[in-house]
Amino acid sequence: MLDDHRWTNHEWDGICCLLAEIDSTCIAANPVLIPTPTAYKSKKQDDPDTPGWWEATTGSDSEQFWAAMDREIMDLVKRKTWSMVPRSKPKQLGKQVVPGTWAFKKKQLPCGTFRKHKARFCVRGDLQKISNKKMQEAMDASEVLTEKEIKESLDTCSPVVSWVTVRLMMIFGLLLSLQSKSIDFSNAFVQAELESPVFLEIPQGYESKETGDMVLELHRSLYGQIEAPKLWCEKLKNGMEAQNFKTSELDPCLFISKKMVCVS
């Protein structure tokens, strides 16, 4: 019986991956369905550089990962990403309280040398309820929508730069001896403000008596949130246009000014 067996982390990974496989099959048969907590966790290969919650918080690198979690929380608080509110507030507004999740990574340099321990707090976007009327009606009627209809209904898609554009800019750079520079935005999605309130559970590992029956009201988007890529894209586009860049008619991720070209 189950009580007589002590499950190892490796065995639990296998069980969770099997359950995720079953869920993936069900969702593929009916794409209108939104993944439920039975998704358990995404499929995960045995990668020591990408540990799960228990491996990260109780393993040999637990001290470093807890420190990375502290840095992440402090950075989000510094950016005024959220405020703590009573759980009664989302209930009064008829809003869902979405769970969050932690993503861990042992980051390395291109040469393979260890760089740092990274912890990122994310929204469980797969559990966010759909507010779009068309999508909700389709779900209620058990109708199957095409992938295109789902994307159009959600209106959360963000454009992705074309590889043709990337190659073209690299060729221009070589032919014209142009200088190039790459930019990595820290917590990029958090820089975009939300259009409507989203409520989130207290991050795992940071619950206390003080947090009690409190939840987080997000003021800025977080990774994993359904609409986060779209909001960040709009934030970047507005910022580039404010700096006199023009968006290319051929690629919305190509911004051109008199002295500079930017690919996002």
pLDDT (tens, 9 = 90+) of the chain, 264 residues, equals: 444 445 555 555 555 555 554 544 444 444 434 444 444 444 445 678 899 999 999 999 999 999 999 999 999 999 999 999 999 999 999 999 999 999 999 998 888 888 899 999 999 988 877 555 555 555 555 555 565 555 555 566 778 889 999 999 999 999 989 998 888 887 888 989 988 889 999 999 998 887 888 999 999 999 988 888 889 999 999 999 999 999 999 899 999 999 899 998
3-state secondary structure the chain: CHHHCCCCHHHHHHHHHHHHHHHHHHHHHCCCCCCCHHHCCCCCCCCCCCCCHHHHHHCCCHHHHHHHHHHHHHHHHHCCCEEEEECHHHHHHCCCEECEEEEEEEEECCCCCEEEEEEEEEECHHHCCCCCHHHHHHHHCCCCCCHHHHHHHHCCCCCCCCHHHHHHHHHHHHHCCCCCCCCCCCCHHHHCEEEEEEEECCCCCCCCCCCCCEEEEEEECCCCCCCHHHHHHHHHHHHHHHCCCEECCCCCCEEECCCCEEEC
List the chain domain ranges.
Answer: 9-46, 47-263
Structure tokens at 28: 């593929």
Structure tokens at 136: 């909700």
As a whole number of angstroms, the distance between CA 73 and CA 203 comes to: 9
Look up the pTM and report it. Answer: 0.69
